[in-house]
């Protein structure tokens, strides 16, 4: 349960509340009208009354009655995911077992085993991913197990999460960060994998609203400002296509829709361009009413009409008609050159394909009824079940493996006999080998891709035909883990390495036994544990292994005392202290090693902290503190490349922080400047920074090549406001094309 809601201002009286609840409930029934069979209305009424009674004393953070949340979740399930009556009942009851006196037995007695099982699954997930619990990732396997048992559990959970994201304004800032990060890290990719593109998009946009509020507001503002111009352009683009479709007697709908805020931002970052330079701010969609047997043919005919009118970009053709994505998505995507020299993405699909694209899994099942095909979803679930039952990995690794194996985009590759294998993007020849069979994977020495010999690390592309070459002498090695992305391959390699490690460790165990006996110390669990702790290792197996490969020199044992037959470790050496963040004090003219930062929930004493190298925060940035083992507190920007992972997996180690104003101290940051290489351009840049703005430059490198220059500058600024002014002034210089702050560690 996440009790959060839209507005802190809530002032309805009891009578108005009752009317509001009834209005929302009736709205839910209207959404379900087409799916109601005899007796369904009574069951839903019973579920509603049970939930309303169970939650009657509960309020959300905004003060509104709690029952409005389950009703809203049920509406999302029906209207946006396409689920039916049983899922509605489960949605209404999804928080009752966890938060109220209602029991699973009460629900089973009233509604039967199936609904009780789904509510039980939802209760388990709620307990797992509660933001107040410590390690969400540790229990993530249980979530996925529940998902594969009955996928409706995860669909209802996605609806629950979406409603919580829509109503996140009433929550404390640190919880907004945690919930948003978790959403973008796990739930949005899961929604994408279930084929729920609209939900995935909205989740990403809402997460960005809280994680990067400034950028989010800027893009929203610019989209609003350019709306009229975009509409004019879309109409101009569509006009000749509409005429062609009418002439060809196609019953089709054609319209333009804006890209999501998150995808526009991703493109701006990836391509290093401004909002104005993102060419595909919108996509054109063509939806055709066509009988199932003619769908593909008609989509290709429409593609032909569009490319007759506008020139296509061949490498941007995506054919998901011939090779459906494993989440059921089918469509034809192309990018064409429209009027005014602008690239435009066009998506072509049938009405059935569109419903699957909008409603994902639920629509997929609807159309699958009566067919003998094994659903791609079921194959996917089967693979996940295998992964969970066969793996003994650390839960954070599990979550990472799950994301790369099951939530990534896919490629399709062929066996020598022409069978298709779907693999996640980034898969290597070694992943392909393990996807055929584990016994083939562990013996792989190379591969032929399109009849050409390649190493096992070779990254595959869609359409490749792959033949695996094996040898009985081959054994997996540690570096293989860096060549694979699928969890099946990683799991099998880890198993093989463990087995190999165990064999090697036997020698180390024997060596240690002899050494201890020679010192008159017992080869006992107590002594082994003492050594494991002394060498800061994970397990006795690690200790034996390190001894066997001679990473540990047993001569060091002469430092230990033997009391009776027990070892006593010497006092540890003084730990190496971490270097403090480099900051610059203008008055002293020397770098100073400390600065002011307000850390909430702590005493007013100064707290030792480090500034993260991965994102180099400066005053004015949105930041959070992260408690790092052995290093104390590390300060990260909320848009740091590692933020989502840290906040989603270790939210219990996050400390709320914000900057105190301190104009005496400057912070190291870096800028990358690109422009036209003209006489005196370097002089203009350095004059502006050092001369006009009096900002201290730490290092500068400028390279000119083929008429362009690229400059990397390290400089000391007081805060983000000062940096923003500098960036704007640099952009205003003639010949300067772009100025970007480094997100990662500063290069020069």
**Which active-site residues does the annotation give?**
98-99
Task: List the strands of the sheet with 444-449, edge to edge.
Answer: 452-454, 444-449, 466-470
Decide if 490 contacts 465 (C-beta within 8 A): no
Hey, which residues does 667 pair with through a beta bridge? 583, 717
Which 8-state DSSP code applies to residue 119? H
Count of other CB atoms within 10 angstroms of residue 454: 18
Residue located via tokens 């730490």: 698
Identify the helix (H) or strand (E) that includes residue 453: strand 452-454
Count of other CB atoms within 10 angstroms of residue 542: 18
Q: Provide Rg for the chain, Cα atoms.
A: 30
CA 72 to chain centre: 25
How many angstroms separate the CA atoms of 443 and 483, rounded? 15
Hey, which residues does 138 pair with through a beta bridge? none
β-strand 632-637 against 609-611: which pairing, if any? parallel
Which 8-state DSSP code applies to residue 688? I
Provide CB contacts within 8 A for 94, sequence distance 6+: 70, 73, 119, 122, 123, 126, 156, 160
SS3 672: strand
Question: Burial of 106 by CB count in 10 Å (0-12 exposed, 13-18 middle, 19+ buried)?
Answer: middle
Count of other CB atoms within 10 angstroms of residue 166: 16
How many angstroms separate the CA atoms of 559 and 551, rounded? 17
Decide if 66 contacts 58 (C-beta within 8 A): yes
How many angstroms separate the CA atoms of 100 and 98, rounded? 6
SS3 344: strand
- For the chain, the maximum distance between any two Cα atoms, rounded to a whole number of angstroms, is 98
CA-based nearest residue to 458, from 413, 500, 422, 503: 413
Which 8-state DSSP code applies to residue 194? T
Provide CB contacts within 8 A for 485, sequence distance 6+: 404, 405, 408, 424, 426, 427, 428, 431
Q: Measuring CA to CA, how many Å separate 615 from each of 545, 585, 642? A: 37, 21, 9
- CA angle (495 as vertex; 493, 497 as ends), nearest 5: 70
């Amino acid at each position: 349960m996440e009790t959060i809601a839209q507005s802190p201002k809530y002032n309805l009286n009891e009578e108005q509340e009752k009317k509001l609840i009834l209005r929302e409930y009736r709205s839910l029934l209207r959404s379900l009208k087409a799916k109601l069979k005899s007796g369904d209305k009574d069951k839903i009424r019973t579920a509603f009354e049970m939930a309303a009674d169970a939650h009657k004393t509960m309020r959300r953070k905004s003060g509104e009655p709690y029952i409005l949340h389950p009703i809203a979740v049920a509406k999302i399930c029906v209207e946006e995911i396409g689920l039916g009556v049983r899922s509605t009942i489960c949605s209404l009851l999804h928080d009752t077992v966890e938060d109220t006196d209602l029991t699973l037995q009460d629900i089973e007695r009233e509604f039967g085993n199936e609904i009780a099982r789904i509510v039980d699954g939802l209760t388990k997930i709620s307990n797992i991913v509660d933001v107040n619990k410590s390690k969400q990732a540790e229990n993530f396997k249980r979530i996925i197990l529940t998902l594969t048992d009955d996928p409706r559990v995860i669909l209802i959970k996605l609806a629950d999460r979406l409603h919580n994201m829509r109503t996140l304004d009433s929550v404390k800032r640190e919880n907004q960060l945690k919930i948003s990060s978790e959403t973008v890290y796990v739930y949005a990719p899961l929604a994408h994998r279930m084929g729920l593109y609209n939900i995935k998009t909205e989740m990403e946009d809402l997460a960005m609203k809280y994680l990067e509020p400034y950028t989010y507001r800027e893009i929203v503002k610019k989209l609003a400002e350019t709306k009229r111009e975009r509409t004019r352009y879309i109409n101009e683009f569509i006009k000749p296509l509409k005429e062609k479709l009418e002439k060809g007697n196609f019953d089709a709908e054609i319209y333009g829709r804006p890209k999501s805020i998150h995808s526009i931002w991703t493109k701006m970052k990836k391509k290093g361009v401004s909002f104005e330079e993102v060419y595909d701010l919108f996509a054109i969609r063509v939806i055709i009413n066509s009988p199932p047997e003619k769908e593909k043919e008609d989509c290709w005919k429409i593609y032909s009409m569009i490319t007759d009118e506008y020139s296509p970009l061949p490498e941007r053709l995506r054919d998901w008609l011939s090779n459906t994505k494993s989440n059921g998505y089918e469509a034809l995507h192309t990018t064409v050159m429209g009027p005014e020299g602008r690239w435009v993405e066009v998506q072509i699909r049938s009405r059935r394909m569109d419903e699957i694209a909008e409603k994902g899994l639920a629509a997929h099942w609807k159309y699958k009824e009566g067919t003998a095909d094994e659903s791609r979803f079921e194959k996917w679930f089967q693979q996940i079940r295998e992964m969970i039952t066969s793996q003994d990995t650390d839960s954070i690794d599990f979550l990472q493996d799950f994301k790369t194996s099951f939530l990534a985009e896919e490629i399709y590759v062929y066996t020598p006999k022409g069978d298709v294998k779907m693999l996640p993007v980034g898969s290597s020849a070694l992943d392909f080998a393990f996807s055929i069979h584990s016994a083939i994977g562990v013996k792989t020495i190379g591969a032929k891709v399109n009849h050409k010999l390649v190493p096992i690390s070779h990254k595959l592309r869609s359409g490749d035909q792959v033949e695996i070459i094996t040898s009985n002498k081959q054994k997996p090695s540690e570096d293989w883990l860096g060549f694979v992305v699928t969890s099946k391959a990683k799991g099998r390699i880890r198993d093989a390495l463990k087995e190999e490690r165990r064999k090697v460790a036997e020698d180390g165990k024997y060596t240690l036994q002899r050494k201890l006996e020679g010192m008159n110390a017992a080869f006992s669990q107590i002594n082994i544990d003492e050594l494991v702790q002394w060498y800061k290792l994970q397990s006795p197996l690690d200790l034996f292994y390190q001894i066997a490969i001679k990473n540990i020199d047993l001569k060091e044992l002469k430092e230990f005392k033997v009391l009776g037959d027990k070892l006593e470790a010497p006092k540890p050496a003084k730990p190496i202290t971490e270097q403090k963040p480099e900051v610059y004090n203008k008055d002293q003219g020397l770098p100073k090693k400390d600065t002011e930062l307000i850390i909430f929930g702590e005493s007013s004493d100064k707290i030792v902290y480090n500034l993260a190298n991965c994102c180099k925060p400066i005053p004015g940035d949105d930041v959070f503190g992260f408690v790092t083992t052995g290093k104390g507190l590390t300060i990260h920007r909320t848009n740091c490349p590692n933020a989502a992972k840290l906040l989603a997996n270790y939210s219990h180690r996050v400390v709320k922080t914000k900057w105190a104003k301190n104009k005496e101290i400057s912070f190291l940051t870096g800028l990358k400047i690109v422009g036209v290489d003209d006489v005196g351009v370097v002089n203009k840049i350095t004059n502006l920074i050092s001369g006009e703005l009096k900002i201290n430059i730490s290092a500068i490198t400028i390279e000119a090549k083929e008429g362009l220059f690229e400059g990397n500058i390290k400089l000391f600024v007081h805060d983000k406001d000062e940096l923003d002014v500098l960036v704007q002034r640099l952009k205003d210089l003639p010949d300067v094309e772009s100025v970007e702050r480094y997100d990662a560690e500063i290069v020069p």
